[in-house]
Amino acid sequence: MKPISELLKKRDSTVYQVGLSATVFEALQSLADHGVGAMTVMDQGKLVGIVSERDYTRKVALQGKNSKETTVAEIMTRDIITVTPQTGTHACMALMSQKKIRHLPVMDGEKVMGMISIRDLMDDIIAEHEETISQLTSYISS
């Protein structure tokens, strides 16, 4: 079980963020521009929430609200579940499964170090399995 910090090293370390007063439309545009499904919501440099495509669909689209008038503060997820850089990948996967979430901010104290998605974890698990298969194939062949 490797720590999440190893996954963060392998990818772009940019943490995409949006402010409380941004409109949902602006947040959606930023999500699309960066090709991500969720962003941190920051207020005066502090993590106060997460806004995701899921928040939009459930709290704006399905409720008939206007994304150009609704603010991120109105729809963001406020009860943030976070992990540390030392948290293991399997522990993150279990947490995501238990809490039915797809994104975890990685925190080092008060600082957001990154955001891990379920896709990041699945890619890592697949790579790990492929490496194991390759090693076993090599062992059997020798």
Pick 4-141's CATH classification: 3.30.2310.20, 3.40.640.10, 3.10.580.10, 3.30.70.20. 3.10.580.10
- Summarised one tens digit per residue, pLDDT across range 72-123 is 999 999 999 999 999 999 999 999 999 999 999 999 999 999 999 999 999 8
How is the chain split into domains, by residue range? 4-141
Among residues of the chain, what percentage have pLDDT more than 90? 76
3-state helix vs strand vs coil in the chain, percent to 5: 45, 25, 30
Alpha-carbon distances, residue 114 vs 24, 48, 66, 87 (angstroms): 22, 15, 30, 13
Q: Tens of pLDDT along 56-75?
A: 999 999 999 999 999 999 99
